[in-house]
Amino acid sequence: MTTYSDKIKEISKRLLKEGKVDLVIGFRKGSVPLMNQPMFAKNEGDVDSFVWDSNCGINLANYVTDRSEKIGIVAKGCDSRNLVVHIIENKIKRDQLHIIGVPCKAMVDRHKIAAMMPGEIESIEENEADGTLTVTGSGFSETLNKAGVLQENCALCMHRNPVLYDELIAEEVTEQNPEEVDQYAAVREVENMAPEEKWAYFDSLFSECIRCYACRNACPLCYCPTCFVDESKPQWVGKSVDPADVRTFHFLRAYHCAGRCTDCGACVRSCPVGINVRALTKKLEKDCLENFDWKSGLTLDKRPPLDTFRPDDPEEFIK
Amino acid sequence: MKNLMEHMGLDPGRLHFSWISSAESTKFVDVAKKVTAEVKALESKEKKFVKTKPKVA
Amino acid sequence: MAEKEPKILSFLCNWCSYGAADLAGVSRMEYPSNIRVIRIPCTGRMSVKFILAAFRQGADAVWVSG
């Protein structure tokens, strides 16, 4: 990954020097291991803190919303899809962006790794040659196989290469074969439950939720000036951790992402208590694919399904 | 919407959509009866489903 | 018996189903009294929030009609 980091630094320096962009958005090492932070580099000196490794799971498209500068942005597959969504939704102009495409080699799941370790993790080293990670903390050091601890959405990802970019930092990686990866196994499992079982499943899924709204803040789609949870006249949803309120929040947030979610996994990654928020968004993604033949963020030329009408839209649910 | 409601375990019979023109009063009455019947059937099947989602003070 | 009756909250479009409901009333047709009507200016005014709010506040079912 050092080659990736070096290349990102090199390109960012060049862009800033030539004055092509006002700032470059990328990642730097986080203050805690496994959590790289977004960083805005406004001059060449800042650029040296840029890194790229397997902990860059946050979606950088989140930070371009409504900005007026010329922006260079480091984008892996899902980030680039979310940039497309942003452009379609007029949240940023295409010519404001200089997209530095990163063929993504998948991110690791910090919750999974944390659960495997006996104590607090202090550092993580990546060995790209043999695909292993060495996790160390006070009194322990373990070597893991990276493939075993990928984020679930990365393991299922079909668009590791950016769909929209101005330059790539490396050769494209090979995409997974859609026939070999069962995208919706988890969704189907829930679909096959009886209503009571489903209710109970989501009750236990959300029982940990502390309503910190990290999932909302990390999500590139959640850019409403006032989120429905913050509205108070009328107040749609209570602010407590009452199961009904928590459920309403997650339901409506997920629904707002229908036909827009690219399954980048930023919500799950940012969750401090490790809730699999994707249980809802993945279902919507599946529905959009089945009902409207739609995958979000792949092209600039098509309007999203919930914003257009087609005579052949499914309407079995209407009496 | 309806799909996700179902996915979360809300009974599909609790949410209905229809398309009725202002001249179709007979259709309105029909659908109204149908919806009510369907909901009543649910009611007897599994009471208080929605009550698991009460408003908190 | 009285508490057993379900409450069905219906959101009716002013121009379509609300008109139909009005016509049904004028024509003295009978329909179940479980239905509580909220008139909305157009089905386009409908929001998922309304449905969730209805369930939150104890509606047994919601019916959206355009």
The Cα–Cα gap between A251 and A103 comes to: 32
Least confident of A151-165, A204-218, B33-47: B33-47
- Structural domains counted in chain B: 1
pLDDT 10s digits, A142-169: 999 998 899 999 999 999 999 999 999 9
Residue range A295-311: mean pLDDT, rounded: 84
Contact criterion met (CB below 8 Å) for A166 and A100 = yes
Question: How close is the nearest chain C Cα to the Cα of A239, in Å?
Answer: 14
Q: Could you read off the pLDDT of A229-246 as tens digits, one per residue?
A: 888 888 888 888 888 888
Query: Is the backbone peptide bond immediately before A33 cis, with ω within 30 degrees of 0?
Result: no
Place of tokens 């189903």: C17
- Residue B57 in any domain: the answer is no
Contact residues, chain A, for C52 at CB < 8 Å: 236-237, 248, 251-252
Nearest to A255 by CA among C29, C50, C44: C50
A84 CB-contact burial (10 Å; exposed 0-12 / middle 13-18 / buried 19+): buried
Contact of A257 with chain C, judged by CB distance below 8 Å, is answered with no
Predicted local confidence at residue A311, as pLDDT: 79
The dihedrals phi and psi of C21, each to the nearest 5 degrees, come to -65, -40
Judged by phi (left if over 0) then psi (alpha if -120 to 50, else beta), residue A24 lies in beta
Please answer whether residues A244 and A237 qualify as being in contact, where contact means their C-beta atoms are separated by less than 8 angstroms: no
Token pair listed for A43: 């001059």
Residue B56 has pLDDT above 80, yes or no: no
Q: What is the domain partition of chain A in residue ranges?
A: 2-109+150-307, 110-149
Residues of chain C with a CB closer than 8 angstroms to some CB in chain B: 4, 6, 8, 10, 15-24, 27, 29-32, 34-35, 48, 51, 55-66
Helix, strand, or coil (residue A116) = helix
Print the domain residue range for B17. Answer: 2-52
- Secondary structure element (H or E) that encloses residue A292, with its range: helix A278-292
Mutate to test the interface with B, among A197, A284, A317 (most CBs of B within 10 A): A317
Residues A99, A166 contacting (CB under 8 angstroms): yes
Q: What is the predicted pLDDT for the residue at A247?
A: 85
A254 close to B4: Cβ distance less than 8 angstroms: yes
User: Mind giving me the DSSP string for A177-208?
Assistant: PTTTS-TTHHHHHHHTS-HHHHHHHHHHHHTT
**Per-residue pLDDT tens for A35-65?**
899 999 998 889 999 999 999 999 999 999 9
How many Å lie between the alpha carbon of C5 and the closest alpha carbon of chain A?
22
Backbone angles phi, psi at A127, to 5 degrees: -115, 105
Indicate the Cα dihedral angle B10, B11, B17, B18, nearest 10°: 180
Pick the closest to residue A249 from A290, A282, A216, A289 (CA basis). Answer: A216
The answer to whether A236 contacts chain C (CB < 8 Å) is yes
**Mind telling me how many Å the CA of C57 is from chain A's nearest CA?**
11
Please report where in the chains the tokens 């290349």 appear, as a residue.
Answer: A7
CA distance A216 to A195: 27
Give B53's pLDDT tier (boundaries 50, 70, 90): very low
- CB of A260 within 8 A of CB of A223? no
Residue A128 identity (one-letter amino acid)? E
- Average pLDDT on A63-85 reads 94
The better pLDDT of the pair B7, A104 is held by: A104
Tens-place pLDDT, residues A111-143: 999 998 888 888 888 888 888 999 998 888 999
Do B39 and C60 make contact, defined as CB atoms within 8 angstroms? yes
Asked if residue B35 is part of any domain, the answer here is yes
From A252-256, A276-280, B14-18, the region with the lowest mean pLDDT: B14-18
Q: Tell me the Ramachandran region of residue C6: left when phi exceeds 0, alpha when psi lies from -120 to 50, beta otherwise.
A: beta
Q: Is the pLDDT of residue B22 over 90?
A: no
| Dist. CA C18–CA C40, nearest whole Å | 9
